[in-house]
Amino acid sequence: MLGNKYTIPFHFHGTLSANGAGRFSVPRTTVLEGIQFSCAGATAATLDFGPASNADGLFDGVAVGQSGAVTRHDKASANGALYTDAANVEEIVLVPGIVYLFTVIHASAVGATVVFELRE
């Protein structure tokens, strides 16, 4: 691992009329250090994240920051089916060649922003 840190930001403008979804892949083995999640207004939105084969496999229904406040999720809040042994996992590792999906679940989320914090 090189130790370089970078982010991958996504923003959904306006009010979602359905769930918002996005995808990305990484060019080399990468550690997911955290996910920042916020919406411009008060909402009950949640976030799912995981590989395409299990789109909520790493994070399943984690909470959003309300009214512009950011909620940060890291391995301590990972709760998906692929992450069943959190106490014994040092890092969440993303690998090249796999498409990772995320979904903002709530049709009336306003100005949803999701930022993935990564380290090579």
Query: Per-residue pLDDT for 28 more than 90?
Result: yes
Query: Per-residue pLDDT for 1 more than 60?
Result: no
Q: What pLDDT, on a 0 to 100 scale, did the predictor assign at position 19?
A: 93
Q: What pLDDT, on a 0 to 100 scale, did the predictor assign at position 25?
A: 96
Residue 92, token pair as written in the block? 């969440």
Mean pLDDT of 54-59: 94
Tens digits of residue pLDDT in 68-97: 899 999 988 889 888 777 667 788 999 999
Tell me the whole-structure pTM to 2 decimals. 0.92
CA dist., res. 17 & res. 67, Å (int) = 18
Return mean pLDDT, the chain. Answer: 90
Q: What pLDDT, on a 0 to 100 scale, did the predictor assign at position 17?
A: 87
Please, which pLDDT band fits residue 111 given cuts at 50, 70 and 90?
Answer: very high
Q: How many residues does the chain have?
A: 120
The DSSP secondary structure of 17-47, one letter per residue, reads SS-EEEEE--SS-EEEEEEEEE-SS----EE
| 87 touches 94 (CB < 8 A) | no
CA dist., res. 40 & res. 52, Å (int) = 28
Q: Which amino acid belongs to residue 90? A: E
Its CATH architecture, for the domain 5-119, is Sandwich (2.60)
